[in-house]
């Protein structure tokens, strides 16, 4: 009588059999399913099929920002005034005190791409943290934007779209800020005078910044809804909006040609600095409670 094969021999041969045949079977299933009907992202991940990383483009729009400390401006002795610390003086919606327009769509050309677009500061509203003494009189100082406060922003899409407020890339910006500083007597509001950036510095203050961004806003952010463009790159999306999604939430969508495109929101704090040491620190403008009011004939603001 033949001796029965040892149990370890049977086990090793069964392992080899299943290794070979399951591999053949999985290749057949993968080829059949992918070729015939395609696979969902989860199915592709299960079968080990790499999914193409997504990198949606960005509609043009506006960034609604809130000023925080440290924010200061050096008047370089004009009127006997040196460095002045500033705080937010909100103009709305929410606690917005600064609005910067991104004036063209951003097209990345895929993950790892970048774009450079024109920007303009169209609103600025700051107030001195404490009164400033000039010729033995104490003044509150109010700073507002001047015309043609323009610059550029370079946006990088380093990380795949993730559908959350987590960063999907970084950006840098250069902004030439013209401003008016109005000094108002704390005891006599009719006693006031103004100085302009051109008078003090001979031109604008040049602020540079670096930060992170996401297609999705952090919870509680000011949301200004508006119509998207037709095709990304045509620069027809609502300039005043920061959310061009046609459904609930500011989700990445598609243009009329099927290109993925979404919006732009800064993540966390961003410090704008000049070579002379001036600073303007901002974070996303927030709203006290969720509700929606009509702000104009063509967009809604949530706050």
In a domain, 1, yes or no: no
Model's pTM, two decimal places? 0.79
In a domain, 51, yes or no: no
In a domain, 104, yes or no: yes
In a domain, 30, yes or no: yes
In a domain, 40, yes or no: yes
- Quote the pLDDT of residue 53: 65
For the chain, how many residues are written?
303
Spatial contact of 256 and 230, defined as CB atoms under 8 Å apart = yes
Tokens 């949530």 sit on residue: 302
What gap in Å lies between CA 280 and CA 31, rounded to an integer?
56
**Statement to judge: residues 16 and 108 lie in one domain:** no
Structure-block tokens of residue 52: 């193409």
In a domain, 2, yes or no: no
What gap in Å lies between CA 273 and CA 94, rounded to an integer?
25
Residue 286: DSSP 8-state: B
For every residue of 40-109, DSSP letters joined together read -HHHHHHTTPPPPPP--EE--EEEEEEEEEEEEEE-TTGGG--EEEEEE---SSTT--EEEEE-S-B--S
**Statement to judge: residues 159 and 207 lie in one domain:** yes
Nearest 10 degrees: Cα torsion 183, 186, 190, 193: -10
**Statement to judge: residues 266 and 293 lie in one domain:** yes
Nearest 10 degrees: Cα torsion 37, 40, 42, 44: 50
Segments forming the whole domain that contains residue 33: 7-46
Nearest 10 degrees: Cα torsion 207, 279, 266, 148: -40
Q: Closest Cα partner for 33 from 19, 23, 47?
A: 47
Nearest 10 degrees: Cα torsion 177, 116, 92, 230: 140
Domain count within the chain: 2
**Statement to judge: residues 14 and 161 lie in one domain:** no
Q: How far is CA 123 from CA 16, 140, 147, in A?
A: 71, 19, 10
In a domain, 132, yes or no: yes
**Statement to judge: residues 74 and 183 lie in one domain:** yes
- Quote the pLDDT of residue 92: 97
| 5 φψ region: left (φ > 0), alpha (ψ -120 to 50), beta (else) | beta
In a domain, 66, yes or no: yes
CA pseudo-torsion sign 37, 41, 46, 52: positive
**Statement to judge: residues 36 and 109 lie in one domain:** no
**Statement to judge: residues 24 and 151 lie in one domain:** no
**Statement to judge: residues 64 and 159 lie in one domain:** yes
What gap in Å lies between CA 239 and CA 298, rounded to an integer?
11
What gap in Å lies between CA 124 and CA 253, rounded to an integer?
31
Spatial contact of 205 and 179, defined as CB atoms under 8 Å apart = yes
Q: Closest Cα partner for 64 from 170, 212, 223, 279?
A: 223
Q: Closest Cα partner for 209 from 177, 233, 241, 164?
A: 177
**Statement to judge: residues 25 and 135 lie in one domain:** no
What gap in Å lies between CA 32 and CA 79, rounded to an integer?
79
**Statement to judge: residues 194 and 107 lie in one domain:** yes
What gap in Å lies between CA 231 and CA 239, rounded to an integer?
15
| Mean pLDDT of each 10-residue bin along the chain, 303 residues long | 38 36 31 31 36 82 98 87 97 98 98 98 98 96 97 98 96 98 97 94 96 96 96 98 87 95 98 97 86 32 35
**Statement to judge: residues 37 and 75 lie in one domain:** no
**Statement to judge: residues 145 and 76 lie in one domain:** yes
Specify the DSSP element, H or E, that contains 189: none
């Amino acid at each position: 009588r033949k001796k029965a094969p040892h149990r370890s021999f049977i086990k090793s041969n069964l392992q080899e059999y299943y290794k070979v045949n399951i591999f053949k079977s999985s290749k057949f299933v993968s080829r059949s399913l992918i070729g015939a009907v395609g696979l969902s992202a989860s199915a592709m991940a299960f079968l080990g099929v790499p999914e193409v990383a997504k990198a949606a483009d960005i509609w043009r729009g506006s960034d609604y920002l809130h000023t925080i400390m440290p924010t200061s401006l050096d008047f370089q002795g004009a009127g006997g005034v040196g460095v002045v610390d500033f705080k937010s003086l909100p103009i709305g919606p929410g606690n917005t005190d600064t609005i910067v327009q991104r004036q063209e769509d951003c097209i990345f050309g895929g993950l790892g791409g970048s774009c450079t677009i024109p920007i303009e500061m169209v609103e600025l509203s700051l107030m001195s943290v404490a009164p400033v003494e000039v010729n033995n009189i104490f003044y509150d100082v109010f700073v507002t934007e001047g015309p043609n406060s323009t610059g550029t922003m370079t946006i990088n899409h380093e990380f795949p779209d993730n559908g959350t407020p987590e960063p999907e890339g970084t950006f840098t910006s250069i902004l030439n800020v013209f401003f008016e500083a109005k000094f108002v007597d704390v005891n006599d509001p009719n006693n006031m005078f103004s100085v302009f950036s051109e008078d003090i510095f001979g031109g604008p203050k040049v602020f540079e910044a670096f930060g992170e961004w996401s297609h999705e806003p952090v919870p509680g952010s000011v949301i200004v809804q508006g119509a998207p463009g037709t095709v990304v790159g045509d620069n027809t999306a609502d300039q005043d909006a920061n959310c061009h999604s046609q459904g609930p939430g500011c989700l990445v969508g598609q243009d009329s040609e099927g290109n993925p495109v979404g919006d732009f929101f800064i993540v966390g704090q961003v410090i704008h600095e000049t070579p002379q040491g001036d600073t303007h620190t901002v974070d996303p403008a927030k709203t006290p409670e969720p509700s929606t009011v009509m702000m104009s004939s063509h967009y809604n603001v949530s706050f």
